[in-house]
Amino acid sequence: MNRLMEAAAAAFQFLSRFPIRREIPFTPEVQQRSVVFYPLVGGAIGLTVALLGWGLSFALPVFPASVITLTAWVGLTGGLHLDGWMDSTDALLSHRSRERMLEIMKDSRVGAMGVIACTLLLLLKVSLIQSIFELSGGVWKQEALLLVLAPVWSRWFMVHAMYRWPVARGSEGLAALFSGLSNLRRLQAGLMAVLVTLVVIVTLGLVTDSTQLWISGLSALVLAPFLTWLIGAAVAGRMSRRLGGLTGDTYGALNELLEAAILLFVVLLLQRWG
């Protein structure tokens, strides 16, 4: 297996539950090369979820179809980022000292704040997925592919966060694997996110031949990265100031938050142009 394939396989193994049957060394060098493919993993997750939602929309009412779609979405990630969301909210909403917050994040138990935050996040996501169903007339049309933007750009931001902010625990923890990530890797991940987005937009335009969808797609290409960076940078900066850096849990929390934010953006876009 060449280095490129090894890096791609490492990204899919780490971020998803797609059946990649390869022995990949879990080293900082391999993991840092793999971040280039994080948006591609997001694209694969998003496409799988969108196709599932499309199929379910023919057989089930809107709400249960939305719940099953979200369940599959969580299942494809193994709940990895959702776990980070709960641990991070438990710690950051405790209003304790930096050291105590880091201890809370290491604790395998989930507190009340984590449960509440998880419940609210999932409710928001399922409502947004349901809205995409409803904006498509109860049956998913091609514009539902814009859903793919959420897992693509949220995973790009994780790479940006690895580059931009220090690691809170130094050489300890999962985040240490990505310490010292190069700007080249971040730029390559950004290019990958743009390419996946372009594939989605071109597919929409060619399949539908709709001027409105071309406008929606081009708007998404410009606005989705900007909104991802704007919201992500504000939240990540706040986290870093309180924790003295970021951790693996905060990367996951940022991913979950940004997925919800981009889904909201897609709903607003479809309301305007869909």
Question: What digits encode the pLDDT tens for the residues 115-174?
Answer: 999 999 999 999 999 998 888 765 556 667 788 999 999 999 999 999 999 998 877 777
Is pLDDT larger for residue 215 or for residue 74? Answer: 74
Mean pLDDT of 78-103: 91
Mean pLDDT of 248-263: 96
pLDDT over 60 at 207, yes or no: no
**What is the structure's pLDDT at 273?**
63
166 within 8 A of 193, measured Cβ to Cβ: no
Residue 259 has φ and ψ, to the nearest 5°, of: -60, -45
148 within 8 A of 200, measured Cβ to Cβ: yes
Read off the pTM: 0.92
The percent of residues above 90 in pLDDT, for the chain, comes to: 58
**What is the structure's pLDDT at 4?**
86
168 within 8 A of 52, measured Cβ to Cβ: no
CA atoms 34, 39, 42, 47: torsion sign: negative
**What is the structure's pLDDT at 25?**
82
Mean pLDDT of 213-217: 64
CA distance 44 to 36: 14
Residue 1's pLDDT band (cuts 50, 70, 90): low
Residue 213's pLDDT band (cuts 50, 70, 90): low
Residue 192's pLDDT band (cuts 50, 70, 90): very high
Residue 109's pLDDT band (cuts 50, 70, 90): confident
Mean pLDDT of 245-272: 92
CA 45 to chain centre: 9
| Per-residue CA distances from 273 to 113, 136, 199, 220, 259 (Å) | 37, 12, 19, 11, 21
86 within 8 A of 114, measured Cβ to Cβ: yes
246 within 8 A of 166, measured Cβ to Cβ: yes
